[in-house]
Amino acid sequence: AQSVTQPDIHITVSEGASLELRCNYSYGATPYLFWYVQSPGQGLQLLLKYFSGDTLVQGIKGFEAEFKRSQSSFNLRKPSVHWSDAAEYFCAVVGRGSQGNLIFGKGTKLSVKP
Amino acid sequence: DSGVTQTPKHLITATGQRVTLRCSPRSGDLSVYWYQQSLDQGLQFLIQYYNGEERAKGNILERFSAQQFPDLHSELNLSSLELGDSALYFCASGGLETQYFGPGTRLLVL
């Protein structure tokens, strides 16, 4: 069955430190890959997406993600975290031949220490 | 602002009742997707409509139904509500390559 795994439920980093959030997927073929962010009480905002081509993709707010086909992974990174990055982050996939319904991971909650 | 609107923002109701959640997609988007976010199940796809027709179904209970109207807004109807239906319900519009999410409707069933 198709699934997305985010192994870290909660991560705490210090402001200014680097960040990596892990995401692994299980899918028949390489899906489209997404990272969304949800701030408390807010909806979901798209950070970045990968369809094909360059495996390192840049997104908004200084985030980037790297697709590794051999590891079925799509990890999210940021070189220097800001306090405003505290939020919940969701990795999601969509099957290329599907109607577009997203399959989400369980999310990783990011806390930022001053 | 994603351009997707949802009403109401909050809804408190009792078990056994029926509620209707409303979603207006971004201008020009023909697809509407409904998702449920709960503590135990996470974010789950419920149902998708495209230009008035149902296109895909996910983990949607039989007590739940949806429709999309000619002006492209969509409604999600939840009936015979149970405590476990308490959740945040999102709608999104867009398509395969990008979906834009509304702010959600928080439903509390008491």
Nearest residue on chain A to B43, judged by CA atoms? A104
> Tell me, what's the pLDDT at A34?
96
CA quadruple B40, A91, B34, A41: dihedral sign: positive
The answer to whether A78 and A84 have CB atoms below 8 angstroms apart is: no
Closest CA to A60 of A51, A50, A47: A47
| Residue spans of alpha helices (H) in B3-106 | none
Q: How confident is the model at residue B1 (pLDDT cuts 50, 70, 90)?
A: confident
Q: A-chain residues within 8 Å CB-CB of B48? A: 99-101
The answer to whether B44 and B55 have CB atoms below 8 angstroms apart is: no
B25-76: per-residue pLDDT in tens? 999 999 999 999 998 899 999 999 999 999 999 989 999 999 999 999 999 9
Nearest to B96 among A42, A90, A94 (CB): A94
User: Is residue B105 less than 8 Å (CB to CB) from chain A?
Assistant: no
Q: B-chain residues within 8 Å CB-CB of A105? A: 42
Distances from the Cα of B32 to the Cα of A111, B38, B74, angstroms: 32, 20, 7
> Tell me, what's the pLDDT at A57?
97
